[in-house]
Structure 1
Amino acid sequence: MTPKKSDSRSSAIAAAVILLAAGVVIYFMPMIIIYLSAFSPFLATAVGAGLVLSFFLVFWLRARYQRRNGL
């Protein structure tokens, strides 16, 4: 079963939005980490790891949603 043209376009747009949002977060991440490290290095490490892992979490959740709905 091949995906419809509108489905593949929708997927491409969603992926582009996710990548753009992740790019903005990763661009500002050093400033966020430096700011948080003034309070606690452990907090800065946890937030940095959380931001990086959230990028993969979004794609994992999207794939899970698509698999469940047969997309």
Structure 2
Amino acid sequence: MTPEAKSQAIAAALILLGAGLVIYFLPTLVLWIGQYSPALAFVVGAILLLGFFAVFWLRARYQRKRGGE
């Protein structure tokens, strides 16, 4: 395994681990925030879920700029 491939694998694993933790605790967090404001709970939930896709989108843009595949 090349150093670049190893780095990419580690980055992907960390991103997936972070996303897994967020998704695991998301229902508890949204229900807790929903006690105060249902609209705020919706916004926080949407931001956290969209953040998962935003991380991969930003990483893909970074890879394209660097000339990676």
- Normalised to the residue count of structure 1, the TM-score between the two structures is 0.91
Partner of 2:56: 59
Q: More relative contact order in 1 or in 2 (CA 8 Å, sep 6+)?
A: 1
The alignment covers a number of residue pairs equal to 68
Q: Deviations over 1:39-68 (max 9, x none)?
A: 111000010010000000000000000100
Q: Deviations over 1:5-57 (max 9, x none)?
A: 11111101000000000000111111100000011110000100100000000
Moved over 4 A (4+): none
Partner of 1:21: 18
Partner of 1:11: 8
Unaligned residue ranges in structure 2 (runs of 5+): none
Secondary structure at the residue paired with 1:39? coil
Secondary structure at the residue paired with 2:67? coil
Superposition CA RMSD, Å: 1.1
Identity of aligned residues (%): 56
- Normalised to the residue count of structure 2, the TM-score between the two structures is 0.94
